[in-house]
Every structure is written in structure tokens, then in C-alpha cells.
């Protein structure tokens, strides 16, 4: 959520800053801007809307400075207007800011009483005037920043330019910020992707760190203003290559990448000789069947956690609690020392999940982070890390990152079932064999995309409401399918356990309501099928996803039901394989409606504020 790029160099920086912002578009935003220092003076260009608007402004009114900062903003305080876009400047300094300043109202009141005049609705402007106030009282830029940091409450990452000073300052607390080390130039970014074309030498600032950058040097300070060193990490720039590769959208490309990345993620957690699950490098504590695992996540990752609960309880006989990260700390959970907490996040920067991890760690939990970014804040904070291998995911609506989470969680469940002796090696081998076929089966499903396009056009794109139902592990998948449709098409959709229909939701059924039924032929098939017939009897349109065996049992075929025949599945493979048609239905519904598939309105890829 939001993105920062800063460069201090011996050559012009404006276009590289704008290009860096384009690489961060996947994070989600609704305005953009850039500011540079020219002959000691700050000049700013900003625009509402997409970066293309900013590019037009910069082309019409060029900036020529060798030091600059840029920002894409996802609105929190203040509407997404040009006036509220970053950088926020006041003639003495200019700031870009990710995060939320929780005490901005108090600061604004205090600073207004001192004569400071505010021109935006943002919480960011309180930082601008706070630092300015310290400058007005004789502080240097370094001193003014440090004093201001001690007065700010909340989570933030900031970059600051000062009128008349050839330097760039940055600071972080609760929101990620990375330094890039170049040749006669230095970089500042909210993540490595924005800096990838410019350097492969990165320094990840830690909690409370702040930095002074010049074109040929940098100095990092801790929260006490003591000079400190942080290690340089070398990351090959080809790790961050992003392109659509001929696909219409990044999301469609990422859907089609799933067979490959799932296969890679699976191979990473299997022993190459025994083909049994292997998490040897995890330093995982011994788990007994009576132990409890708490799983915490947000959004799509939360649905992956819900699926994992079925697997861990059914296979490993463990007690499992699943929490939404935004609620975890506030319900004051009972945390028994040395219990295990698993935190799931694609980016590893999700603010609610990161805060929950820190809370659990402070209460004596062994904390595991399941993330897609090895250098993320959660990966550095956790006691142990499990990495997925999804690669960069640009589309805001998660696809391949989600299914990579599922394949790793399935394998982890099998590993723990061996540890608790709930499963034998022979039983686990059968499950692993089924998982190894998932990439091939997904490839087969991807040959049916035209089917989903036709269903989306005929049955879904004109609907006002859509229901998804399923049982067992397909209940969380119903939630995920509904979320995808909401995110992309802006159609109201809800997921329910199929058995809960009669407890209220069935009142919504009428002839205009499509109901998507997830019904693999498993031990719950007959019950799920009876629920499908219940909604059919009340005039609803039913799209039933099943397999070849299940399809043979559908006898009441009429104009109100369409059966999509998938591949036969197991309890472990069903969520993975049913994820793909759910993604495609959402994608094609949005495509036919003409909504923004890769960057849906109001959404951000990485939610770095609570």
C-alpha cells in the first residue's frame, strides 16, 4: 500500500523515479507525485489517478534535479486528489510517507496554534510542519528529523528532501524501507522491486532506523540517533523481472504460471530422495498431538489458513485456531508459552499480520512466517521462515501466491502428521504422490478457459448478487471465490458453508441469483448436491463445479443448472484445483464488465497500514 522511490545522484533522477513508481503500481494507489531539488530549491509535480497522468505532467513541465523523491498514494486521510498527493511540500522541505500517523490530529492542532498553515487533509502534512518547526528553532535537518521521529506515533516509512541541502533522509517504523547502494548514487525504496533496475546491493532498514543519503555515501542511525551498520544484501536483479509476456493482464499471466510455481514450491519442501516432506531447515519444535497451533492471516491468506485447519486437524490430529490478523491482538487470546503461531502473508509486510506476530512473540510463542519474500519484515521478525516460490505477483487479487501457500501448507500438514505419528510414511507417500500431479492437472484445467469466459458472460456479469457454497475444505474456497469476484468485478458476492443455507441465506434465493456450488465427489458430495437441488427448487441458477464421477450423478439437468466437470481430486488436492476455476470465473466476469483487473478500485497489493 503506497510506494516510495528516492534517488540522490550526480545525474538527473526524475524519469528513473517515475519508472520506479511504475514498478510499484502493483501495490495499488490513487495518486502519484515526484519532487526534486534543483539549485537548492524543491520543485514538485503531482497528479490524481494513474502514473500516466503524472508522466504527462512531468513531460509538460520537466524536472531536472539530481536528488528526488517519488510516491504513489493509496488514500487514507484525505481524498485521492492532487492536493493530497505526495510529495507534500511547504517551501522548506518535501516528504513522501507510507503508513498512518496516529497522533496527527493532536500534532496538527499544536502546530496550527504556533502559526503553521495546513493545505491538505493528509496526516502526512503534520510531519512536514513538525520537522519545519524544529528547523525554525535552529535544528539541522538531521536534528529536526530525529526530534520529529520521537514525537510521531503510528507506523510509517518516510523520505525527506530539504531546501538548500544536497541530501535525502529516510526513516522507518512499522513500515518497510530499503536502501539501494549504487555507483555515485544512492536509492531509497519501499521495497526492492522498485529499485531492481538500478542496483542489486540492498540494505534493509530495521525497526526505528533512519538514514542520511548522499550521492556517494550513507549513514544509518538507530532510534537513539547512534550510528549503526546494517548488512548489504546482494539480490540478482533478474529476481524482479516483471512483464505480461503476451497476456492481456498480469492476473491472467499469474493464473497460467501456477503449474510452474506450485511445482517449484512443492519441490522445495520435499526430500529429493525419499520424496517425503522435509522442513529440516525450519528449526521447528517437536509437535505433539495435544499441542495447539494458532494460524493468523488476512484476506486470501486467511482462507488458506482456514483450509490448513482442516488438514492439520484431520491429518496431524492437532488443535488449530485460525484468526484474522486484524482481530487477533484485540480479542486478547490466551497464549500458552511455547505454543506455535503460524503467520501467513504473501508480501511479509501486511501490517495487521506483522503486528500480530510481534504480539505473539512477546508472549512467548514460537513464531513461524509463511511468506513469499525472504527479506520481508515478517521473515526477519519470525523465529522460523517457510518460503513459497511464487515469484513476484503483480495482480492485486492474489492467485499464484495463494495456491503456493496451499501447496506448502498441505506438505507441512503431512510433515506434522508424521511427527505426531497420526500418519505412517506409507500414507504420507500416497498424499505426496497426489500433490505432485497437481501442476499437470492444473495445466489441463487451463485449456478450458473459454468455458469460464462464456459462463461469466452469460450467467455472472449481469448479476447483482452471487452466492458460493461448499463443505469441508471447499467452504473456505467458497469464501475465496466470492472475494475474488468482489475484488475484480465489484459484484456483491458471499461464501457460505452449504449446510448453513437453511439457517438464513436461503431467503436470498430467487430466479436472478446465481449460486456457484463447489462439489467434488468426496464423502460430503451427496449433502452438497442436496443443497444444490434446494436452491434449484427455488428458481436459482446453479453453476456446479464437480468431477467426472460427480457429474454422472447429476440427473436434474435443465436450463437453470450448468455442470463444470473438473478433474477427480483428493481432500488435499481439491482446494488447489478448485482455486483455478474460481479465479478464471472472477477474471472473465471482470473482463466482460470492463473493470480494472490488475488494479481494482480502492485496493492495494500490500496492506501496510492497519
Give residue limits of the domains in the chain: 3-240, 242-436, 446-610
Q: What are phi and psi of 350, to 5 degrees?
A: -55, 120
Q: pLDDT tens digit string along 140-161?
A: 999 999 999 999 987 788 999 9
Q: Do domains 3-240 and 446-610 have the same CATH topology?
A: no
List, in sequence order, every residue forming a beta bridge with 5; answer none if it has no partner.
70, 189
Q: Which three cell numbers stand for residue 438?
A: 497437481
Short-list 337, 339, 338, CA closest to 321: 339
Q: pLDDT tens digit string along 318-358?
A: 999 999 998 888 888 878 777 899 999 998 988 899 999 99
Q: What are phi and psi of 102, to 5 degrees?
A: -70, -30
Q: pLDDT tens digit string along 159-200?
A: 999 999 999 999 988 677 899 999 999 999 987 778 888 898
Q: For residue 610, is pLDDT > 60?
A: no
Q: pLDDT tens digit string along 86-141?
A: 999 998 999 999 877 878 889 999 999 999 999 998 889 999 999 999 999 999 99
The percentage of residues in the chain with a pLDDT greater than 90, rounded to a whole number, is 57
The confidence band for 245, taking pLDDT boundaries of 50, 70 and 90, is low
Query: Among 92-96, 250-254, 421-425, 498-502, which is the least confidently predicted range?
Result: 498-502
| CB contact set of 343 (below 8 Å; sequence gap of 6+) | 295, 296, 297, 325, 353, 354, 356, 357, 360, 367, 368, 369, 370, 378, 382
Rounded to the nearest 10°, the torsion over CA 554, 557, 562, 567 is 20
Q: Which residue has the cell 517515475?
A: 18
Q: Is 127 exposed, middle or buried (0-12, 13-18, 19+ CB in 10 A)?
A: buried
* Residue 45: strand, helix, or coil: strand
CATH superfamily of 3-240: Aminohydrolase, N-terminal nucleophile (Ntn) domain (3.60.20.10)
pTM for the full predicted model:
0.73
Q: What's the CA gap between 363 and 256, in Å, rounded? A: 42
On average, the pLDDT of the chain sits at: 89
pLDDT score of 489: 96
Strands 465-470 vs 492-497: parallel, antiparallel or unpaired: parallel
Short-list 330, 433, 343, CA closest to 380: 343
> Other C-beta atoms within 10 Å of 456: how many?
23
pLDDT score of 505: 82
Span 42-69, average pLDDT:
94
Query: Among 254-268, 485-499, 567-581, which is the least confidently predicted range?
Result: 254-268
Span 251-273, average pLDDT:
86
pLDDT score of 8: 97
Contact 348, 176 (CB under 8 A): no
Q: What's the CA gap between 73 and 188, in Å, rounded? A: 16
Short-list 355, 387, 356, 351, CA closest to 369: 387
Residues constituting the chain: 610
CATH superfamily of 242-436: Glucose-6-phosphate isomerase like protein; domain 1 (3.40.50.10490)
Short-list 538, 582, 578, CA closest to 560: 538
The confidence band for 556, taking pLDDT boundaries of 50, 70 and 90, is low
Span 19-48, average pLDDT:
88
Span 438-460, average pLDDT:
90
Helix%, strand%, coil% for the chain, nearest 5: 40, 25, 35
List, in sequence order, every residue forming a beta bridge with 496; answer none if it has no partner.
469
Q: Which residue has the cell 496527527?
A: 104
| CB contact set of 500 (below 8 Å; sequence gap of 6+) | none
Contact 14, 65 (CB under 8 A): yes
pLDDT score of 107: 93
> Other C-beta atoms within 10 Å of 584: how many?
23
Q: For residue 31, is pLDDT > 80?
A: yes
Span 365-388, average pLDDT:
90
Q: Which three cell numbers stand for residue 488?
A: 475484480
Q: For residue 62, is pLDDT > 70?
A: yes
pLDDT score of 195: 87
Inter-axis angle of helices 574-593 and 400-419, nearest 10: 170
CATH architecture of 446-610: 3-Layer(aba) Sandwich (3.40)
Q: Which three cell numbers stand for residue 102?
A: 496516529
User: Which residues form the catalytic set?
Assistant: 2, 605
pLDDT score of 443: 84
* Residue 515: strand, helix, or coil: strand
Contact 585, 455 (CB under 8 A): yes
Contact 489, 456 (CB under 8 A): no
b/e map 21-41, b = 16+ CB within 10 Å: bbbbbbbbbbbbbbbbbbeee
Q: pLDDT tens digit string along 128-140?
A: 999 999 999 999 9
Q: Which three cell numbers stand for residue 115?
A: 502559526
| CB contact set of 517 (below 8 Å; sequence gap of 6+) | 469, 470, 498, 528, 531, 532, 535, 542, 543, 544, 545
Contact 26, 396 (CB under 8 A): yes
Q: Is 331 exposed, middle or buried (0-12, 13-18, 19+ CB in 10 A)?
A: exposed
Short-list 553, 562, 517, 554, CA closest to 535: 517
pLDDT score of 558: 65
Q: pLDDT tens digit string along 518-538?
A: 999 999 999 998 888 888 888
DSSP strand E in 222-291: where?
227-228, 233-234
* Residue 480: strand, helix, or coil: helix
pLDDT score of 28: 64
Amino acid at each position: 500500500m503506497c510506494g516510495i522511490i528516492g534517488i540522490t545522484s550526480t545525474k538527473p533522477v526524475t524519469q528513473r523515479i517515475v519508472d520506479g513508481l511504475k514498478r510499484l503500481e502493483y501495490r495499488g494507489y490513487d495518486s502519484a507525485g515526484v519532487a526534486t531539488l534543483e539549485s537548492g530549491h524543491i520543485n514538485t509535480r503531482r497528479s490524481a489517478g494513474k502514473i500516466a497522468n503524472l508522466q504527462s505532467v512531468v513531460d509538460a513541465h520537466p524536472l531536472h534535479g539530481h536528488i528526488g523523491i517519488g510516491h504513489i498514494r493509496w488514500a487514507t486521510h484525505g481524498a485521492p486528489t492532487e492536493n493530497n498527493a505526495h510529495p507534500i511540500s511547504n517551501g522548506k522541505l518535501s516528504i513522501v510517507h507510507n503508513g498512518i500517523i496516529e497522533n496527527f490530529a493532536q500534532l496538527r492542532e499544536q502546530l496550527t496554534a504556533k502559526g503553521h498553515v495546513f493545505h491538505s487533509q493528509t496526516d502526512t502534512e503534520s510531519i512536514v510542519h513538525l520537522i519545519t518547526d524544529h528547523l525554525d528553532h535552529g535544528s539541522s535537518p538531521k536534528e529536526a528529523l530525529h526530534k520529529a521521529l520521537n514525537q510521531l506515533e503510528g507506523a510509517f516509512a518516510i523520505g525527506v528532501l530539504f531546501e538548500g541541502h544536497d541530501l535525502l533522509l529516510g526513516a522507518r517504523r512499522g513500515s518497510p524501507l530499503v536502501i539501494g547502494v549504487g555507483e555515485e548514487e544512492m536509492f531509497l525504496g519501499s521495497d526492492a522491486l522498485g529499485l531492481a533496475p538500478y542496483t542489486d546491493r540492498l540494505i534493509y532498514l530495521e525497526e526505528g532506523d533512519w538514514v542520511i543519503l548522499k550521492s556517494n555515501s550513507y549513514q544509518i542511525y538507530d532510534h537513539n540517533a547512534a550510528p549503526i551498520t546494517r548488512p548489504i544484501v546482494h539480490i540478482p536483479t533478474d529476481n524482479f523481472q516483471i512483464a505480461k509476456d503476451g497476456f492481456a493482464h498480469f492476473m491472467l499471466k499469474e493464473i497460467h504460471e501456477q503449474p510452474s510455481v506450485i511445482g517449484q514450491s512443492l519441490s522445495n519442501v520435499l526430500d529429493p530422495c525419499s520424496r517425503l516432506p522435509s522442513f529440516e531447515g525450519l528449526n521447528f519444535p517437536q509437535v505433539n498431538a495435544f499441542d495447539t497451533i494458532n494460524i493468523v492471516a488476512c484476506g486470501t491468506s486467511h482462507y488458506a489458513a482456514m483450509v490448513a485447519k482442516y488438514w492439520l486437524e484431520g491429518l496431524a490430529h492437532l488443535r488449530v485456531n485460525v484468526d484474522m490478523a486484524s482481530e487477533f491482538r484485540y480479542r486478547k487470546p490466551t497464549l500458552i508459552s511455547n505454543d506455535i503461531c503460524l503467520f501467513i502473508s504473501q508480501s511479509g509486510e501486511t501490517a495487521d499480520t506483522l503486528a500480530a506476530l510481534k504480539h505473539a512473540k512477546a508472549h512467548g510463542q514460537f513464531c513461524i512466517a509463511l511468506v513469499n519474500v525472504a527479506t520481508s519484515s515478517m521473515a526477519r521478525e519470525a523465529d522460523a521462515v517457510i518460503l513459497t516460490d511464487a515469484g513476484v505477483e503483480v495482480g492485486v487479487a492474489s492467485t499464484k501466491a495463494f495456491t503456493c501457500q496451499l501447496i506448502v501448507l498441505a506438505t507441512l500438514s503431512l510433515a506434522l502428521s508424521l511427527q505426531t505419528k497420526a500418519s505412517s510414511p506409507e500414507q504420507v507417500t500416497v498424499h505426496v504422490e497426489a500433490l505432485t500431479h497437481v501442476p499437470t492437472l492444473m495445466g489441463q484445467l487451463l485449456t478450458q478457459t473459454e468455458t469460464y469466459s462464456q459462463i461469466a458472460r452469460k450467467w455472472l456479469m449481469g448479476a447483482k448478487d452471487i452466492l458460493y457454497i461448499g463443505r469441508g475444505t471447499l467452504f473456505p474456497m467458497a469464501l475465496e471465490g466470492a472475494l475474488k469476484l468482489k475484488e475484480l468485478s465489484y459484484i456483491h458476492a458471499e461464501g457460505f458453508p452449504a449446510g448453513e443455507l437453511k439457517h438464513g441465506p436461503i431467503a436470498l434465493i430467487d430466479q436472478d441469483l446465481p449460486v456457484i456450488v463447489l462439489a467434488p465427489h468426496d464423502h460430503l458430495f451427496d449433502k452438497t448436491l442436496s443443497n444444490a437441488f434446494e436452491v434449484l427448487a427455488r428458481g436459482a441458477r446453479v453453476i456446479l463445479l464437480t468431477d467426472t464421477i460427480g457429474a454422472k450423478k447429476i440427473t436434474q439437468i435443465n436450463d437453470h443448472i450448468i455442470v463444470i466437470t473438473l478433474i477427480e481430486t483428493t481432500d488435499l488436492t481439491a482446494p488447489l484445483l478448485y482455486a483455478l476455476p474460481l479465479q478464471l470465473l472472477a477474471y472473465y466476469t471482470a473482463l466482460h464488465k470492463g473493470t480494472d483487473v490488475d488494479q481494482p478500485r480502492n485496493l492495494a497489493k500490500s496492506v501496510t497500514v492497519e
